[in-house]
Amino acid sequence: MLRDIVVNGHNAALATYKAAVDMKTGMAVVKGTDNTVSLAADAKDVFFVQKARIPTGANAAVLNHSDWLEEYNTVKAGDCVVLYKYQPGDLFATDAFESEDALASMDNGDGVTFADGILAAGDGTHYVFRGVIMDAGHPLALIEYVE
């Protein structure tokens, strides 16, 4: 899950890439030279995965869907993805973290990095941890892009 909290709405999202491997929305990725994205492994120049919410199968007959519907948050290898690139001052939230215990060990202002697309404590990126928020009963790590 990827939630924009405070972002510049004029930043264009990239929608011409496909997933090279299975992933979830909200994971950190890097662009490849063949119009695919792979999970970020401690990269500084990362993008975050989102996907168009298009119901399929029996879900197409349902009127109201939760944003937490599994098919909205699961990306299979070969699926088209939308890439978000955040800018200084942007604040967003993701559920792409190892565990709630890992988040509990982090303090507001701690640097974060990404290992296999998953948020982890560490320095070397422009992203800092700003706490945990709840979204429909699900915890999300609040992340800010700082210079």
| Average per-residue pLDDT for the chain | 91
CB neighbourhood size of 132 (10 A): 16
Of 88, 93, 73, 78, the C-alpha closest to 142 is 93
The three-state secondary structure class of 9 is: coil
For residue 110, the model assigns a pLDDT of 94
* 41-45, 84-88, 125-129, 141-145: the lowest-pLDDT one: 41-45
pTM exceeds 0.85 for this model: yes
Which has more confidence, 114 or 59? Answer: 114
C-alpha to C-alpha distance for 63 and 84, rounded to whole angstroms: 27
